[in-house]
Amino acid sequence: MVALQKTGGWWVPEFTQDFTSSRTPVWIRLLQPFIGKPNICGMEIGCLEGRSTLWFLDTVLRHASSSLVCVEPNCKDTFLNNINSYRDKIRLIQADSSIGLRDPLLKHGSLSFVYIDGDHRAPSVLEDAVLSFPLLTARGVMIFDDYLWESATPKIVQSMPKLAIDCFLTVFAGQYELVHRGYQVAIRKK
């Protein structure tokens, strides 16, 4: 991760958790066709402190014309401070994804990848997937986080992403290629 310039000196982003580093080997493989290319636009749904946001920007969206849409209803100061140096490459939608993904500025076929890691409840994950799938380009990649994660109430399957991801994969069968299944699930749109 690069040090970011701050008025009066340099600073390194502040993080209290790392849910990104263990996932990046798979992301590099999945997102390889987009790395450093011009006019690539990605989307991240759920940004927390911005660690994955910065990874996408530093690793994939390096070209000056590439950008990232971040959908995050509850932006913490840590996130805003961490992304400050990249504000010209980020379109921040501060709204629940159920509203933000309906933004009229989001055009069908405009995104090269979507990373779904927002509200982990099954109804929300399913809605995020259904609303963002049309936004993907052909050959665009959708990555679902936390497929195998268990909530504090694992007997309530609606409290976890797995049910929603499985439903999405069933309903949209034939419209994608499954390119990864593990703790995360990833598809490539046909």
Structure tokens at 126: 């399913």
Q: What pLDDT was estimated at residue 4? A: 47
Q: Which of 175, 172, 173 is nearest to 190 (CA)?
A: 175
DSSP 8-state class, residue 187:
E
Q: What pLDDT was estimated at residue 125? A: 98
In whole angstroms, what is the distance from residue 20 CA to residue 22 CA? 6
Q: Give pTM, 2 decimals.
A: 0.91
Give the chain's domains with CATH numbers.
18-189 (3.40.50.150)
In whole angstroms, what is the distance from residue 188 CA to residue 143 CA? 9
Cβ 165 vs Cβ 129: under 8 Å: yes
How far CA 33 is from CA of 17, 30, 113, 179, 180, in Å, comes to: 28, 8, 11, 14, 16
Q: What pLDDT was estimated at residue 17? A: 81
Residue 56: CA atoms inside 13 Å, Cβ hemisphere, count? 26
Span 138-146, average pLDDT = 97
**What would the DSSP string read from start to end of 125-186?**
HHHHHHHHGGGEEEEEEEEE--TT---S-TT-GGGSHHHHHHHHHHHTTTSEEEEEESSSEE
pLDDT per residue as tens digits for the range 89-118: 999 999 999 999 999 999 999 999 999 999
At position 162, the amino acid (one-letter code) is K
Q: How confident is the model at residue 19 (pLDDT cuts 50, 70, 90)?
A: confident
Q: What pLDDT was estimated at residue 107? A: 98
Across all residues in the chain, what is the average pLDDT? 92
